[in-house]
């Protein structure tokens, strides 16, 4: 089982000091957080994608490529790649490139996003969100698996004889998770392709997450990818820890009360009782996280949100120390002891290459004009330049 952290890249005022970090400070902080995650023994770092204030992460691949150069074992992922408003051609190119740069330590999480105005910014209509997710992802898969693609759809211009470059590393495309909070259509999509399903698992009660995951598992089995308990599931979650639970509650309360996404609503105690948010001691985090298995079954990836709501970098790094030293080692041991042998581990590039029969060089070598890409001897139209 993989353990890690994800960030939504928010720039939020620290309610205890009144100070809001600059974009540069927050970007540098995320780099430090990712490196610290590897240092304390975590497996995964995932970064969100947003195109509006108060977030900075408009180009996850740029940031993840930089992190790849400064780490050696950390699995790099996204905590949503916007399949609805990004061009599938650009996703295919960018993440294959990142895959090469990171020596395969890359997967990504597809999602529709939760910011309505982003759709018209990129020439789309939010009312087409589900259709865009379905069409764009179908094209993306073809771009990664077929060397030459001829394609026509509803939401972008056709492709004729198109080859996406670079080709996926070792002939195996990055593993894809489909992330959703509330849309069964996205769980259906994940099940259809035999991909992973990631439930954010932060804002909803356990019963909702249970229903979504059970639906995905049933459909995964329906499409013949394996038994329901062999489906690939990931969960999110948010934690804040101090060795003494009362200290954790006291310190986190002002951040919770003023957080843009859940502040000024239910109390910290109410929210913690109704959702997986866990504020307390490391032991409480261990017990709560182990309890997730009771309603989703054995799963492959657990990501924690620890840097949200204006928490200063020093505090976040302290959270990572607690995760790495006191929480994750126990969770690894306990989850491993409970997992049946037929339930798969989290997908990795190495394992998927081995399952495909070994690495292949999928580089496309083609003669062509360096300006137009035409092959030698191909008919050229004369264009009069006025």
Domain chopping of the chain, boundaries: 2-355
What pLDDT is stored for residue 382 in this prediction?
Answer: 47
Distances in Å between the Cα of 220 and the Cα atoms of 187, 214, 232 are 9, 10, 9
Under a CB-based contact definition with an 8 Å cutoff, are residues 187 and 111 in contact? no
Give this prediction's pTM: 0.92
Residue appearing with tokens 């191909």: 378
What pLDDT is stored for residue 203 in this prediction?
Answer: 83
The domain 2-355 is placed in CATH, from the list 1.10.1070.20, 3.40.50.720, 3.40.50.2300, 3.20.20.30, at 3.20.20.30
pLDDT in tens, 326-373: 999 999 999 999 999 999 999 999 999 999 999 999 898 877 655 555
What pLDDT is stored for residue 385 in this prediction?
Answer: 46
Q: Which of 89, 82, 95 is nearest to 169 (CA)?
A: 95
Tokens of 169: 């590393």
Per-residue pLDDT of the chain (386 residues; tens, 9 = 90+): 999 999 988 999 999 999 999 999 999 999 999 999 999 999 999 999 888 888 888 899 999 999 999 999 999 999 988 888 899 999 999 999 999 999 999 999 998 776 678 888 888 888 888 899 999 999 999 999 999 999 999 999 999 999 999 999 999 999 999 998 778 999 999 999 999 999 988 888 999 999 999 999 999 999 999 999 999 999 999 999 999 999 999 999 999 999 887 878 899 999 999 999 999 999 999 999 999 999 999 999 999 999 999 999 999 999 999 999 999 999 999 999 999 999 999 999 999 999 999 999 989 887 765 555 565 555 555 444 44
Per-residue H/E/C for the chain: CEEEEEECCECCCECCCCECCCHHHHHHHHHHHHHHHHHCCCCEEEECCCCCCCECCCCHHHHHHHHHHCCCCCEEEECCEECCCCCHHHHHHHHHHHHHHCCCCEEEEEECCCCCCHHHHCCCCHHHHHHHHHHHHHHHHHHHHCCCEEECCCCCCCEEEECCCCCCHHHCCCEEEEEECCCHHHHHHHHHHCCEEEECCCCCCHHHHHHHHHHHHHHHHHCCCCCHHHCCEEECCEEEECCCHHHHHHHHHHHHHHCCCCCCCCCHHHHHHHCCCEEECHHHHHHHHHHHHHHHCCCCEEEEECCCCCCCHHHHHHHHHHHHHHHHHHHHHHHHHHCCCCCCCCCCHHHHHHHCCCCCCCCCCCCCCCCCCCCCCCCCCCCCCC
What pLDDT is stored for residue 372 in this prediction?
Answer: 56
């Amino acid at each position: 089982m993989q353990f890690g952290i994800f960030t939504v890249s928010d720039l939020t005022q620290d309610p205890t000091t009144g100070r809001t970090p600059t974009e540069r400070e927050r970007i540098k902080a995320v780099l430090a957080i990712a490196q610290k995650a590897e240092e304390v023994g975590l497996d995964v770092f995932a970064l969100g994608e947003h195109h509006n204030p108060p977030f900075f992460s408009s180009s996850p691949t740029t940031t993840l490529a930089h992190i790849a150069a400064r780490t050696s074992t950390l699995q790099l992922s996204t905590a949503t790649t916007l399949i609805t408003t990004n061009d599938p051609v650009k996703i295919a190119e960018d993440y294959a490139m990142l895959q090469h740069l990171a020596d395969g330590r890359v997967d990504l999480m597809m999602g529709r996003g939760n910011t309505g105005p982003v759709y018209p910014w990129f020439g789309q209509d939010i009312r087409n969100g589900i259709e865009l997710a379905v069409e764009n992802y179908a094209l993306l898969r073809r771009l990664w698996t077929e060397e030459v693609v001829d394609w026509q759809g509803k939401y972008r211009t056709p492709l004729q004889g198109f080859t996406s470059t670079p080709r996926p590393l070792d002939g195996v495309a990055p593993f894809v998770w489909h992330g959703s909070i509330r849309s069964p259509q996205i769980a259906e999509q994940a099940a259809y392709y035999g991909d992973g399903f990631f439930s954010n698992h932060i804002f909803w009660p356990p019963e909702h997450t249970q229903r979504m995951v059970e639906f995905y598992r049933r459909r995964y089995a329906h499409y013949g990818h394996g038994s329901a308990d062999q489906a690939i599931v990931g969960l999110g979650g948010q934690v804040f820890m101090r060795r003494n639970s009362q200290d954790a509650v006291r310190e986190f309360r002002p951040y919770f009360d003023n957080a843009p996404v859940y502040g000024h609503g239910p109390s910290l105690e109410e929210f913690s009782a109704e959702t997986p948010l866990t504020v307390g001691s490391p032991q409480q985090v261990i017990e709560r996280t182990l309890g997730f298995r009771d309603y989703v079954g054995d799963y492959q990836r657990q990501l924690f949100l620890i840097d949200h709501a204006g928490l200063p970098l020093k505090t976040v790094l302290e959270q990572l120390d607690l995760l790495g030293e006191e929480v994750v080692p126990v969770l690894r041991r306990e989850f491993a002891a409970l997992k049946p042998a037929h339930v798969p581990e989290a997908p990795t590039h190495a394992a998927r290459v081995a399952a495909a029969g070994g690495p292949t060089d999928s580089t496309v070598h083609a003669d062509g004009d360096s300006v137009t890409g035409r092959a030698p001897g191909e008919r050229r139209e004369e264009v009069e330049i006025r």
